[in-house]
Amino acid sequence: MKRSQTQDAQEQNELILQKAGELGITGSRLIPGSEELLELSYKGRTIIINRTRSHKMPLMAGLLAQNKQASNQLFEREGLPVPAYAVIEQMGREAISFLFEQGTIVVKPLDRSRSIGVTLRVSSEEELERAVAEALRHSKKAMLQKYVEGFDYRVLVVAGQAIGALEYRPAVIEGDGDSTIQQLVERLNARQAARGEASARGSFSPIDLTAEPLPELLEKAGKRADSVLARGERWEMFAGGSIAANEVSEIPIDRTLELHPDNAAIAVRAAAAIHLDVAGVDLRCRDLSQPLGGDNGGIIEVNALPDMVDPYLLFRHRSVDVFELYLRYLFEE
């Protein structure tokens, strides 16, 4: 089951307040019972933040990050790589033409986040019609964007520095010749839960083989929950055909060491282009160790309220504490 936005906010706030206490910063929720605003005080100075959205962020930055068309235009103006896109208000000839030009596309609401209303790997008119209808349920306009082959990455940028990169890879299991798919999935869920601690589980959504869309995907693959995968046989559970982005369970992996310096610079420039001081820059490409552009993808979008729980869990082995970096930035002179 997917975690709710409230659960994510609560987890993130708990970690911010915990780290604040360790640094001698007093903090609490501004409104009891609400996860929206935190009040922090240090050395006689008090600030109010919205989780990972700092008090230093201009209002316009948040508006630009929310509007994918506006942000893409600014990225292109800066010479940053952006996959081909089109913005539409309804299903029609323009949408069909774009699909035929690109072959496979992604359809998403123009001004929503958290993968709401997003459909991946749309490749037919029938899929396009459904995907556009879904996107327009959440926004007055839909963005169509070329589907980039490869993997999804998130680069965390704080105060003009690329702190690190995470890969978000759709869940896959590999057979051992004895275990059923159900058993392999249960082990995968257990491994991901063990990454964190009671207060920090991260973004991974435990996989339930009875929940949509997995029963249909199992059937398409000619498998059942009690099927045994041969040794070395891999099943990419969410592969093939169009699918709602928020139905995909993804495994985060630290890819900071593979992040090409040019791509780190691209992420920093993208955040700066829309005046964000703290940002999650989403890239999609075949190879993060090679510069973006051309056949190697580009910027998908930039988030003004980036998740820091996954970076907190995964960057610690490099002695990088993202919440400490964030809090020190908030109170720097």
In eight-state DSSP terms, residue 298 is E
Q: Give the model confidence (pLDDT) of 266-304 as tens digits.
A: 999 999 999 999 999 999 999 999 999 999 999 999 999
Picking from 331, 320, 318, the residue whose alpha carbon sits closest to that of residue 24 is: 331
Query: CB burial class (10 A; 0-12, 13-18, 19+) of residue 72?
Result: buried
User: DSSP string of 242-290?
Assistant: -EEGGG--EEEEE-GGG--HHHHHHHHHHHHHTT-SEEEEEEEES-TTS
pLDDT band, very low/low/confident/very high, at 245 (cuts 50, 70, 90): confident
Helix (H) or strand (E) holding 109: strand 105-109
Say which residue the tokens 């508006």 belong to.
63
- Phi, psi dihedral angles at 192 (to 5 degrees): -70, -40
Q: What is the pLDDT of residue 4?
A: 64
34: tokens are: 């609400």
Q: What crossing angle do the helices spanning 322-330 and 5-22 adopt, rounded to 10°? A: 70
Q: What is the pLDDT of residue 268?
A: 98
Domains of the chain: 84-147 (3.30.1490.20), 174-245 (no CATH)
CA 264 – CA 259 distance, rounded (Å): 7
User: Averaged over 36-63, what is the pLDDT?
Assistant: 97
- Preceding amide of 109 cis, omega within 30: no
Torsion 129-111-121-84 (CA) sign: positive
Q: What is the pLDDT of residue 199?
A: 63
Q: What is the pLDDT of residue 333?
A: 67
Task: Say what percent of the chain tops pLDDT 90.
Answer: 83
- Which residues touch 73 (CB under 8 Å, ≥6 apart)? none
Q: Give the model confidence (pLDDT) of 57-98 as tens digits.
A: 999 999 999 999 999 999 999 999 999 999 999 999 999 999
Task: Say what percent of the chain tops pLDDT 70.
Answer: 97
For residue 331, give the amino acid letter. F
For residue 128, give the amino acid letter. L
- Which residues touch 26 (CB under 8 Å, ≥6 apart)? 20, 40, 41, 42
Q: Give the model confidence (pLDDT) of 102-135 as tens digits.
A: 999 999 999 887 788 999 999 999 999 999 999 9
Q: What is the pLDDT of residue 311?
A: 96
Q: By the 8 A CB rule, do 142 and 135 touch?
A: yes
Q: Are strands 26-29 and 85-88 parallel, antiparallel or unpaired?
A: unpaired
CA 314 – CA 323 distance, rounded (Å): 12
Helix (H) or strand (E) holding 190: helix 181-193
Higher pLDDT, 198 or 250: 250
Map residue 213 onto helix, strand or coil. Answer: coil
Q: By the 8 A CB rule, do 258 and 165 touch?
A: yes
Say which residue the tokens 């316009």 belong to.
60
